Each structure stands twice: as structure tokens, then as C-alpha cells.
Amino acid sequence: MAFIEINGLSKHYPSRAGVVAALDGIDLTIDEGSFLGVMGPSGSGKSTFLSLIGGLCHPTAGTIRVDGIDIFRLPAEQLADFRREYLGFVFQSFNLVPYLTALENVMLPLAVKKLATAEKRERAYQVLERVGLKARAGHLPGELSGGEQERVAIARALVNRPPLILADEPTGSLDTATAASIMELFAELNREGQTIVMVTHNPETRGNFHRTLLLRDGRVAGESLATAA
Amino acid sequence: MKLRTIAFTNLRRRKARLAFLLAGLLIGIATVVTMLSLSTAMTAEVQHQMENFGANILITPKTDELSLSYGGITLGGVSVDPREIPEADLARIETIPNRRNIAAVAPKVLGAVEVKGERVMLMGVAADREFHLKRWWSVEGRPLVERNELVAGSSVARRLGLKPGDTVEIEDFPFVLTGILRETSSQDDDLLIASLPTAQILLDKPGLVSLVEVAALCGDCPVEEMVAQIAAVLPEARVGAIQQVVKSRMHAIEQFQVFAFGVAVVVILIGALVVFVTMMGSVNERTREIGIFRALGFRRAHVARLILIEAATVSLLAGILGYFVGMLATGLLLPVLAEAHAHLVWDARLAGGSVLLAVLVGTLASLYPALHASRLDPTTALRTL
């Protein structure tokens, strides 16, 4: 069953040269538990695509339904609630809050939830353990390596137990070995039933995806299925 | 973890900005506290002076112009003015509506006597009340207590060659000079002071007084009204207020209060501007962080609340510290600006008010930065997406 339904999705930006179509009429469905890779050259609309699924910006045209919810019909504050309950973001440059420890960064999505602090802490420790970083819980981001920061970012995306994880170039700034271990972590999460949409440049990561979407000039230029063994 | 945990952690780990924000508001609050507590202390000092340093209402007989004078009334040399005030009438002063504001009623009888062949003015006083009222009187020796005792003004003592312990004869009655008033540069220097009953006998004015000084406890009580009330119960006397000195002092303090209020408003406005600029800078510096919060599901209201919690926390701190810094400054300035009697007034309302003002100013000045932060577009804020 389709977990995400995308219909006629377009996003146009005004520019000096006229209107630029970052995305132009995308139709797509994503099943629950799938691992979708989105690839394409720079400027092909990958990040815009991810921002739209995440409800971070509004489309010029088209709809996205996640779990049956037409997300762009939600008022602003409910859209924020939707992001909190349905999505976990993993950003390219980790985007950890520098003055918060690894544990506090992981607890961030829970900060506005009505849960006991002890439970929030417990959940954060659990996901840090899941990504192999429980021992580094008290460290600030500046004291962690790139791979460790990425793991903290993944733990933060998982802490709220969201049905969907959106990852934007999560291995983009990591060395090959670390990138491979991070991709393995994502694959593991997916095997456990987690739906993941990942934007990437790295062709080596393709092996992990159930399905790979190739974007070019804001359109779907190609699609390949289950190259994974 | 709650929103306030994030706010407190941010403040704790970004000490430089915390210090800057704190200083901006603290200076403003400390200035307000200093100005207000200074003017309160100075007003209290003037009230203290008014209550403890002499009379501010004078009761005199309705009399014609004569040649000798004391205390604003004129006397007819050795001759007895027929229109004295009966001492018994003074009890009526205790019946006026504002009687609770009366600190002391000091009647005195005046007249000329001959001592060692010289004519001098004798003043009969209710000694305990008179010496209490005229705290500036400094006696070499001691004040008079008994009916056969005298105190001499410095000029008279010099003229007649008197010193404490001497015996002085007036109208064949022997008196002991218990003390000499140190120079006051007033009419008091030319007086011989005796007890009221004795002077009434010597001056042949039994049961009469020449004038009455009334000390009213008048920080803010209506002296003019009290004058009218006393005049109503003593229709045969002339009642007037002597408050020029106090009035001019109060006027100076009122001017200082206006100036203090002006300075306080300006400094608070500058403090608010510092908070506004710093919080705005902080929000702009943290756009990426705010983008993360929004992407993680923080509502706009959550982001605004986060900024306001930070502002309110710093403001609360600035209010408390500002109050104590202000009081410290007042303690240092007070001896320079006021006289020895002025002292620090620890006022709970000023403490509460300054903390409230700090929180109000700090939060209001941060309102726009908080709204600005909450309106940031998460995509623009994150940039990477």
C-alpha cells in the first residue's frame, strides 16, 4: 500500500532569468517500509523534492499525501506537528545544535512533547545505543568525529519513532569507510521496517535502495528497481 | 528536556552574549533604582528635618507694630502688649482635626527685663518642649530644668560677662545660669531664657503667652489646612506657616525627582535597545539552529517561546542584580548628595518593581526578535535543504 502519494508536484522559483522550475510535475508513490534513493546532478531538484515531502516548503502545484494526510492543506502549526510525529530528518552537514550534548541533541524532538523528562532521557539513550554512541552521550558535537556526529543526527531522527526518515546526502561529508558504516546503519533500520527516502550523489550507495529515482531538470528522468542483492 | 532546558543551556554556554545582555539591562535597572532610592532617601531626610527640626506653624497675638521683635512678631519694648494669648486657650489646639500631625506645641512669653543695669529680652519657655523642638541649640553647660534656672544667649552672656554657674539677679530674684547657648546667629543670641511660669511672673503676664511655635509632622500633611484649623479654634490669634526653607528644599527634591525620572526613562530605553539589538543579532546568528528546530517539529510558537524564555531569564537576573547594584550605588552616593541623617531605604516595592520592570522591558524588547525567529522559513534557515 502506498504510504506516500505524490501527484503533479511542481515547485517554481522566481529568478532574474525568469521562473526556474526546480520540480516539474512529479508523480510518484512510495510504499511503507521501502528505501527510496533519489539521485541526480546538482540542481536537478533533489533537495527541493525532499523539502517538499518534509513539509518544509510549499509546492507551486500538486499534492503530497503521507499516510493519507494531504500535508499542504494542514495549517502551519499542524504541519509542524506532522513533521514531529511522522518525520525524522538527517541532514548532510549533521545540523547538530553546537551548545547541546549528543544526548540533548537527540532529545530535541521530544522537547515539545508532553513526556516525563526521565522517559525522554531513556528514549534518547536507547537510540544512542542503537547507533553505537551511548558512551559519547555527554559530549558536545565539536568533540565528536564526523561519523559520530552523523550517528547522533540519525539517533535524533529516530528518537520520536517516526514512520518516515528523510536523509539528505547523509554520507556527503564522510570518508568512504565511515560512509559505508552509516549506509549499513540505514539499511539495518530499513530491514527493521523503517521507510527511508534518501537523496544522494554517491553511486556506491545505490546497492542499498529498493528503488532509485533519477531526477534531471526537475523531472523524473529514470527509475530503477531493487538493484540490491 | 523541555524548552526552558534548551534556553538555559544556550545562555549558560554562550556566556559572552549573556553578559552583554545582562549588562545592558542591569545598568538601566540599577540607574532607575539609584535615582528612585536616592530621591526616596532625600525626601525622607527632608521629612525627618521637618518633623524634628523646629516649628513650622507660628501663633502670635493680633498686635500692632512695635519696636522689638522676635520670631516674626513685634513687641513693644518694655511695655506690655495688652493682647497676649491666654495660655489656657492653647488646649484648643488639641481639638483640631489634624491634631495627630502635631509633634509639639511650644508656648513662650517675651518681655524686657533689666539685668546688671542693662535691658535684655527675657523669654519664658516650656523648657523640655523648647529644647526638644530646637535641636540645633547647643548649650555650653546644661539646659534649664528648675524654675530658678536660666540659659543665656551667646551675645547676652558676652555683654554681661556671664558664664555657666553664675548667679544672676532679675527683679531681685536670684537665678542660676545653667548654660550658655552657643552662637546661633539669630535673635536667640540676644535672649535670656527662663522657665515659662517664672517669666510670666517676672514679666507680670500671669497665664499669658506671647507666641506659640507648633511643630507639625508634615512630610506631606496639609500645613495650610492645619493653619486654618488652628486659626479657627484661636480666632483672636494670628496663625501662619513658616515653611519657606522646607518648601524650597522639597521643590529642589521634586526637581531632582523629575530629572531622575527623565534619566531613568532614557537609560531604560537604551537598555531596551541593547536587548533588542542583541536578541535580534542572536536570532540572525541562530537562523540555522531555528531551521533545525522547525524541521524537527517545533511550532512557530515554540520558537518564539524559546527566545522569550531566554529574554525573561536574563531580564529576571538583570532585575535582581540591578536592584542590588542600584542600592549599592545609592549607598555610595547618599553621603555625598544628602546630609548625615539620610539613610538607605530598603523598599520591597522598589525591589519587586525593579525586577518586574526588568522582565517587562527585556521581554517586550525581545518580542519582535522572537516573532521574527518564529517566522523564519525553515528551508531558508537550513540552507542545506
Q: Name the residue facing B378 among A56, A108, A120 (closest C-beta).
A: A56
Cell numbers placing A146: 564526523
- The phi and psi torsions of A114 (rounded to 5 degrees) equal -85, 80
Inter-chain residue contact A95 with B5, CB threshold 8 Å: no
From the CA of B18, how many Å to the nearest CA of chain A? 14
CATH of the domain at A37: 3.40.50.300
Count H helices and E strands in chain A, helices first: 6, 10
CB atoms < 10 A from the CB of B64, how many?
8
Mean pLDDT score across all residues of chain B: 83
CB atoms < 10 A from the CB of B40, how many?
18
Largest CA distance in chain B: 114
Q: What is the DSSP string of B219-273?
A: SSS-HHHHHHHHHHH-TTEEEEE--HHHHHHHHHHHHHHHHHHHHHHHHHHHHHH
Q: Name the residue facing A89 among B1, B296, B298 (closest C-beta).
A: B296
From the CA of A76, how many Å to the nearest CA of chain B? 8
Residue of A nearest to B298 (CA): A80
In chain B, domain spans: 3-48+249-382, 56-241
Q: For residue B84, what is the DSSP state?
A: P
Residue B299 touches partner A, C-beta closer than 8 Å: yes
Q: Residue A109: its chain B contacts at CB < 8 A?
A: 296-297
Domain holding A154, by residue range, is: 2-225
Cα–Cα distance, B28 to A127 (Å, whole number): 47
Inter-chain residue contact B379 with A57, CB threshold 8 Å: yes
Inter-chain residue contact A81 with B6, CB threshold 8 Å: no
Question: Is the pLDDT higher at B110 or at B56?
Answer: B110
Confidence band of B75 (pLDDT split at 50, 70, 90): low
Instruction: Tell me which amino acid residue B138 is.
Output: S
Whose cell is 531558508? That residue is B380
Inter-chain residue contact B295 with A54, CB threshold 8 Å: yes
Mean pLDDT score across all residues of chain A: 87
Cα–Cα distance, B87 to B106 (Å, whole number): 11
Asked if residue B349 lies in contact with residue B363, where contact means CB atoms within 8 angstroms, the answer is no
Q: Residue B302: its chain A contacts at CB < 8 A?
A: 80, 112
Q: Say whether pLDDT at B170 is over 80.
A: yes
pLDDT of B134 reads 80
pLDDT of A1 reads 64
pLDDT of B385 reads 41
Number of structural domains in chain A: 1
Q: Say whether pLDDT at B56 is over 90.
A: no
> Which of A128-137, B53-62, B208-217, B337-346 is least confident?
B337-346
Q: Residue A83: its chain B contacts at CB < 8 A?
A: 294-297
Contacts of residue B256, defined as CB under 8 A and 6 or more positions apart, other chains included, come to B38, B39, B42
Cα–Cα distance, A77 to A99 (Å, whole number): 26
pLDDT of B79 reads 45
| Whether complex ipTM tops 0.90 | no
Asked if residue B118 lies in contact with residue B160, where contact means CB atoms within 8 angstroms, the answer is yes
Inter-chain residue contact B385 with A83, CB threshold 8 Å: no
Q: Say whether pLDDT at A227 is over 60.
A: no
Q: Is B140 helix (H, G, I), strand (E, B) or coil?
A: strand
Confidence band of B246 (pLDDT split at 50, 70, 90): low
In the sheet that A69-70 helps form, which strands lie side by side, from edge to edge?
A18-31, A2-15, A61-66, A69-70
| Residues B258-290: tens digit of each pLDDT | 888 888 889 889 989 988 998 898 888 888 888
Contacts of residue A209, defined as CB under 8 A and 6 or more positions apart, other chains included, come to A35, A36, A37, A198, A227, A228
Inter-chain residue contact B299 with A80, CB threshold 8 Å: yes
Q: Which residues pair with A195 in a beta bridge?
A: A164
From the CA of A181, how many Å to the nearest CA of chain B? 23
pLDDT of A228 reads 44
Q: Say whether pLDDT at B81 is over 60.
A: no
pLDDT of B82 reads 53
Confidence band of A143 (pLDDT split at 50, 70, 90): very high
Count of CB contacts below 8 A, A vs B?
A: 94
Q: Which residues pair with A35 in a beta bridge?
A: A196
B83 burial (CB, 10 Å; 0-12 / 13-18 / 19+) is: middle
Q: Name the residue facing A108 among B291, B296, B300 (closest C-beta).
A: B296
> Which of A99-103, B185-189, B229-233 is least confident?
B185-189
Q: Checking phi first, is residue A91 left (phi over 0); if not, alpha (psi -120 to 50) or beta?
A: beta
Q: Which of A81, A112, A169 has the most B C-beta neighbours within 10 Å, making it the best mutation to test the interface with B?
A: A112
Cell numbers placing B286: 541562530
Residue B374 touches partner A, C-beta closer than 8 Å: no
In 3D, which of A162, A150, A229 has the Cα closest to residue A195? A162
Asked if residue B89 lies in contact with residue B208, where contact means CB atoms within 8 angstroms, the answer is no
Q: Residue B14: its chain A contacts at CB < 8 A?
A: 99
The share of chain B scoring above pLDDT 70, in percent, equals: 86
Q: Say whether pLDDT at B341 is over 70.
A: no
Q: For residue A159, what is the DSSP state?
A: T
Residue B379 touches partner A, C-beta closer than 8 Å: yes
Confidence band of B78 (pLDDT split at 50, 70, 90): very low
The share of chain A scoring above pLDDT 70, in percent, equals: 98
pLDDT of B245 reads 56
